[in-house]
Structure 1
Amino acid sequence: MTQNVVALNRTDDLERAEALFNQYRIKHIPVVCKDVVIGMLSFTDLQKISLAEATNDEHDINTVVYNSYTIEQVMTKRVVTITPDTSIKEAATILSTSSFHALPVVEEGMLIGIVTTRDLLRFYVKNF
């Protein structure tokens, strides 16, 4: 699991989200309220709303679109989480049978990490 999790607050805006996706080269960001996971935002979520609202002026499209929505409107609200005790096999099973690619890791309700399909692939390559 990745322990230094990049997270968003429910009050952050989508421009901040895009900046974090680009800065850290990640594809999934948990959304938290006082370290409790309340949603998940993926880079694909941002792409979907940008494409849905596309105009002829591509320079300003992200600003216009991002100002039209809040993180809570775009994020996935039903998030599957795991605990630090969840086995690698169980995490891989969840991700391989689901339509998402990241699992927030929570302990006593608080976000402490994230496991992504990329993390699982790195583990596999390193150990096999």
Structure 2
Amino acid sequence: MKKREPISHIMTKGVVTVNENDNLRDVVEKLKKHAIRHIPVVCGKDVIGIISRTDINRLTFGALFEGQEGADEAILDMLNIAQVMTSKPKTISSDTIIRDSAEIFVKEEFHALPVVDNGELKGIITTTDVLKYFLEQYD
């Protein structure tokens, strides 16, 4: 097993983001279109939050992602991203060791961490990325 491998080897580099001024419908559209579960919220180059499919599901009782017709989407117009996102999310740098990121996920119970180097968003790493990496070690 490669014990000192950095997360830069497994993180997603082409990160889908939303701006703090976008609306929640934009978030839902991007989550569906890109088949992702977490989106960093940016203001310029700064990561100011993260919003997840779970955050949206809490508002809509999961109806938006389960294809239920007639889901009450009015809530998406009543709230803004800042009211729903996790503000000031924990971030990690691209040279963080994969094992260390796994420890953060276990300890903090996060499922995604924006990867930020020198104040700039470089990627995102998720629990799925880490699990896939560990599974590959058994091949």
Q: Normalised by the size of structure 1, how large is the TM-score?
A: 0.90
1:62-105 Cα shifts (integer Å, max 9, x gaps): 1x110000001100003110001111111000001123200100
Aligned 1:71-110 pairs, distance under 5 A: 71-110=81-120
Bigger helix share = 1
The structure 1 residue matched to 2:40, chosen from 30, 37, 46, is 30
Give the CA deviation at 1:50: 1.5
Q: Percent identity?
A: 40
Aligned residues: 122
Q: Which runs of 4+ in 1 moved over 2 A?
A: none
1:61 partner SS? coil
The structure 1 residue matched to 2:70, chosen from 50, 54, 59, is 59
**In structure 2, C-alpha distance between the alignment counterparts of 1:35 and 1:23, rounded to whole Å:** 23
1:98-118 Cα shifts (integer Å, max 9, x gaps): 232001000111111000001
Q: Name structure 1 gaps, 5 residues minimum.
A: 52-57
CA contact under 8 A between 2:60 and 2:71: conserved in structure 1? no
- In the alignment, what sits opposite 2:64? none
Q: Name structure 2 gaps, 5 residues minimum.
A: 1-10, 62-68
1:17 aligned to 2:27? yes
- In the alignment, what sits opposite 2:7? none
